[in-house]
């Protein structure tokens, strides 16, 4: 692992256009559980039952009570960890240009990254399903679920549920960023969910180096990634940043 940390630091130090693709794993050390894998939300609840748009439309109260309210409580408490802060530092150094994230927790922006493509939306906002009025999540009264708009309509998070399409402008911008980077950092994603899983492939085919940080191998490992640094995102990123500081 130590050799790979040095290798990653050297790859980043000589790069000019780094793009990061992040998933739920990058926020685990901030106290937000991932969906899949050990300790994941899916061990307790069935995704199709709670995170599919059809389930929400059928029984919004249930989805709010079991999934959304719980996520809100954890996200409210979460702060960026060393991995988010490391990516913000890489941007400040002029090395990293864009973060593409599947996360809805807003922690990349909290850490200081300015170009964040949120594939699956953001949890910070709720939208009325009838009149489209938007509310900051923290201002929403959750004493009765589902929360409602002034007009009486049901509120939903501005996140992409399973069964809903990714907004195409996010998709195009991500594909463009992936095509033009020289290093792609893939952090904490199981790479099972499309189209996020195909973003590193675009970078690879365009000649970029693909570096993965994850405690577990993924379908990208050995096929698309040049190497996997096995370990938690915060700890690994912190070590890479220490080495990088010595190289510059």
The residue ranges that bind ligand NAD (CB under 6 A) are 23-29, 32, 34-37, 40, 102-105, 120, 188-190, 192-193, 214-216, 218, 232-233
The residue range among 16-24, 152-160, 213-221, 228-236 that interacts with Zn ion, by the rule CB under 5 A, is: 152-160
Asked if 151 touches Zn ion (CB under 5 A), the answer is yes
The full DSSP string for 151-186 is TSPBEEEEEPPBTSPPPHHHHHHHHHHHHH-SEEEE
H-run or E-run covering 213: strand 209-213
Asked if 154 touches Zn ion (CB under 5 A), the answer is no
- Which option in ligand NAD, Zn ion, none does residue 189 bind, with CB closer than 5 to 8 A by kind? ligand NAD
Asked if 128 touches Zn ion (CB under 5 A), the answer is yes
- When CB distances to ligand NAD are compared, the closest residue is 25
The CB-side HSE value for 190 (13 A sphere, CA atoms) comes to: 10
Q: Which is nearer to Zn ion, 12 or 154 (CB)?
A: 154
Cis peptide before 63 (omega within 30 of 0): no
As a whole number of Å, the CA-based R_g of the chain is 18
- Which option in ligand NAD, Zn ion, none does residue 188 bind, with CB closer than 5 to 8 A by kind? ligand NAD
- Which option in ligand NAD, Zn ion, none does residue 232 bind, with CB closer than 5 to 8 A by kind? ligand NAD
Q: How many residues does the chain have?
A: 248
Instruction: Write out the catalytic residue numbers.
Output: 120
């Amino acid at each position: 692992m130590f050799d790979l940390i040095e290798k990653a630091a050297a790859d980043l130090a000589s790069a000019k256009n780094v793009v990061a693709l992040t998933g739920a794993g990058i926020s685990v050390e901030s106290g937000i559980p991932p969906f899949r894998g050990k300790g994941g939300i899916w061990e307790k609840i069935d995704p199709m039952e709670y995170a599919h748009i059809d389930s929400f439309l059928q029984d919004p109260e249930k989805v709010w009570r079991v999934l959304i309210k719980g996520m809100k409580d954890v996200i409210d408490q979460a702060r960026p960890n060393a991995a988010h802060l490391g990516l913000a530092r890489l941007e400040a150094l002029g090395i990293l240009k864009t973060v593409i994230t599947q996360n809805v927790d807003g922690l990349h922006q909290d850490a200081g990254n300015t170009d964040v493509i949120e594939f699956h939306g953001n949890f910070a906002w709720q939208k009325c399903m009838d009149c489209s009025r938007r509310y900051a999540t923290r201002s929403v009264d959750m004493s009765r679920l589902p929360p409602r708009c002034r007009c009486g309509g049901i509120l939903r998070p501005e996140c992409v549920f399973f069964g809903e399409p990714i907004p195409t402008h996010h998709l195009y911008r991500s594909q463009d960023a992936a095509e033009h980077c020289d290093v792609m950092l893939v952090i904490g994603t199981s790479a099972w969910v499309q189209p996020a899983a195909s973003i590193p492939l675009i970078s690879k085919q365009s000649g970029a180096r693909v570096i993965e940080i994850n405690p577990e191998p993924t379908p990208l490992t050995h096929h698309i990634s040049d190497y996997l640094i096995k370990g938690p995102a915060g700890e690994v990123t912190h070590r890479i940043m220490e080495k990088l500081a010595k190289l510059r």
